[in-house]
Amino acid sequence: MGLNCHYMTKPKPHRKRLEMEILLDDIHQLEKNGKITTSTALQPTLLAEAAKTRGVYHSKLLSKNHFLASKQLRENPDIIIRRADKASSLVVHGREEYLQKVDNILSDTSKFKRITRMSDVDIPETPMLPLLSSLSLT
């Protein structure tokens, strides 16, 4: 379950791709017979479309109440919801507890070094550099 309460079940494996490949075969056959002409971008476009999930798929496991509950949790300012580090589940933390854990992790000088100015750090030119430079470091 995502944090934004959108939910979809996976379509049957390879079904959509198989349907697109059958469609491509039919199109190539029509093109071979001279009935139609196609662009060279047709095949990659159709195969890319086959990889996308569209439409609304309703979960058989989660009810509307589950989604209402997750929405209430997400809107609660006293908690933070994060993805678990090594699993596809979610973890609900109290805001103070979470901020304290983050502070403890960042305070570990064996892993992190406090910098006072951006000039103390050699950062390669990236799109993030202007954003990092604009931040106020304390």
40-49: pLDDT as tens digits = 888 888 888 7
Quick one: pLDDT band at residue 30, thresholds 50, 70, 90?
very high
Region 28-57 average pLDDT:
83
The confidence score (pLDDT) of residue 78 equals: 93
User: In this predicted model, which residue has the larger pLDDT, 1 or 20?
Assistant: 20
54-93 per-position pLDDT tens digit: 666 666 777 888 888 888 988 999 998 888 887 777 888 8
Give the chain's mean pLDDT. 78
The pTM (predicted TM-score) of the whole model is 0.41
The confidence score (pLDDT) of residue 95 equals: 92
Give one DSSP letter per residue of the chain, joined into a string.
--TT----PPPSTTHHHHHHHHHHHHHHHHHHTTS----TTHHHHHHHHHHS--S----SS--HHHHHHHHHHHH-TTEEEEE-SSSSSEEEEEHHHHHHHHHHHHT-TTT----SSGGGS-----TTHHHHHHS---
The confidence score (pLDDT) of residue 12 equals: 63
Region 81-109 average pLDDT:
86
The confidence score (pLDDT) of residue 33 equals: 92
